[in-house]
Amino acid sequence: MVDSAALAVITFQSTVIGLVFAALGLGFNIVYRVSKSINLAHPAIVLLAVYVTLVASSYLASHGLASLGFALGTLVAAVVGFATGVAMEITIARPLRGRPPVALIAATLGAYYILKGVAKAVARDMWTTASYRLPGISISLGPVVVDATDIAAIVLAGGTLAALIVLHRFTRLGVAMRAVAEDPYGASAYGLPVKTLTMLSWGLAGLAGALAGVALASKTGVEPSIDLYVLEALAASLLAGLDSVAGIVVGGLALGFVRQMSNYFLMSWLPGFGDAAAFILMLLVLLVKPYGLFGTERIERV
């Protein structure tokens, strides 16, 4: 028999982890929309942001700002994430514009290793397992206990998703970015600054990755191998459709629920099946809808 209290806890945690996966996957989707390629350096941007937050918050704590350490550290990480995204657009994506997508995929793979080295350099002695210092908040909602790590993850992941979806759908800047993503030549003809908007998109993808990374590290602890979770989030992106920004919420939540529920209910028979289950779900969806649940179907005439 299913324990209802346990089910409530797992449902809540599935939602939180699903939001985190959605926010992590968002960076892949934003880049895909403007550059029609997968940014394999995205996991390293996340890793870099996670350690920047740790280093910055520890530095602030050692200077008597412990209570503000996490918040300010996250802010620094967001700036670093944005700047890294912009730098990648200028140094990698822009020179490779017009080349086959595989060239950009290969270049971002190279950037992944470089950024991982940079993350190590930033972390120095802190390149190990650690936890962010968060206040000891604990709120009971029936059987579910919500603590500071849950709140941090919900606020950062949910906030990032909400802000970027609103920006994309309901602001003039978002409309311009969508226009550039749909038809860069047409957008240019209408006088839109295509280069700047593409660069901004990469920057926002980096920013989303950074904030999602801090949300993730709140739930997993800071780990040198935390970037592996970002590859799982790629499944959420593919499930939603790589060019769908809003659809990623559904993709992330589906991934979170399938992963956690499978892990819990199949624990005795197929331990650790959750990771595989998420990818099986992705595979099944892609077999039926090759462009994902919300992806734009492209028809090529020959």
Partner 1 sequence: MSRAAAIGAAIVIIIIVAAAAYMVAGKGAASPTATASPTAAASPTAASPTQTASPTQAAGGSAASKPKEITIPVGLLVDLSGPTSGVGRGYARGAVAAFKYFNEKGIYTKDGVRVKLEYYERDYGYNPTRAVQYYKEFRDKYHVYAIVGWGTADTEKLSTQTAKDKILYISASYSAVLVTRPYNFFPAPDYSTQACAAVTWMAQRKPHGTLVLLYDHRVEYSKSPIPAIKAMAKKLGLKVYEVDLPLAATDADAEAAIQKAMQYHPDFLWCGNTISSCSRAAKAMAKYGLKAVMVANVWGFDERFPSLAGAPEKLANLVAGVSPWKWPEYMKDKPGYRELYEAARMLGIPEKDVNLRFMQGFINVWLLVKAIERTDSKTLLQKKGEALKEALESSCNGEPIKLGDITPPMRYCPGNHLPFRSSYIVVWNGKDFVFEGPITPKGVDCVKATLKASGG
Interface with partner 1 (CB under 8 A):
3, 5-6, 9-10, 13-14, 16-17, 87, 90-92, 94-95, 113-118, 120-121, 125, 127-131, 134, 136, 138, 145, 147, 149-150, 219-221, 223-225, 228-229, 256, 260, 263-264, 267-268, 271-272
Query: C-beta of 197: minimal distance to partner 1 in Å?
Result: 16
Q: Which is nearer to partner 1, 25 or 256 (CB)?
A: 256
Query: C-beta of 42: minimal distance to partner 1 in Å?
Result: 17
Q: 83-97 burial by CB neighbour count: b if 16+ within 10 A, else e?
A: ebbbbbbeebbeebe
Token reading at 40? 């394999």
Task: Please name the residue ranges forming H helices in the chain.
Answer: 4-35, 42-62, 66-88, 101-123, 148-153, 159-170, 172-182, 184-189, 194-220, 228-240, 247-265, 273-288
Token reading at 193? 């600054």
Query: C-beta of 287: minimal distance to partner 1 in Å?
Result: 27
Q: Which is nearer to partner 1, 252 or 295 (CB)?
A: 252
Q: How far apart are the first and last CA of the chain?
A: 57
Q: Which is nearer to partner 1, 100 or 272 (CB)?
A: 272
Question: How many CB atoms sit inside 10 A of residue 151's CB?
Answer: 16
Q: Which is nearer to partner 1, 100 or 290 (CB)?
A: 100
Query: C-beta of 82: minimal distance to partner 1 in Å?
Result: 16
Residues 6+ apart with CB under 8 A from 133: 57, 61, 66, 69, 70
Query: C-beta of 179: minimal distance to partner 1 in Å?
Result: 22
CB 157, CB 215: distance < 8 Å: yes
Query: C-beta of 90: minimal distance to partner 1 in Å?
Result: 6
113: nearest Cα among 210, 48, 203, 55:
48
Query: C-beta of 259: minimal distance to partner 1 in Å?
Result: 8
Q: Which is nearer to partner 1, 81 or 292 (CB)?
A: 81
Q: Which is nearer to partner 1, 128 or 296 (CB)?
A: 128
Query: C-beta of 226: minimal distance to partner 1 in Å?
Result: 9
Q: How far is Cα 180 from Cα 39, in angstroms, rounded to an integer?
A: 18
Q: Which is nearer to partner 1, 28 or 229 (CB)?
A: 229
Q: How far is Cα 119 from Cα 134, in angstroms, rounded to an integer?
A: 22
Q: Which is nearer to partner 1, 29 or 260 (CB)?
A: 260
Residues 6+ apart with CB under 8 A from 289: 241, 295
Q: What are phi and psi of 98, to 5 degrees?
A: 90, -10
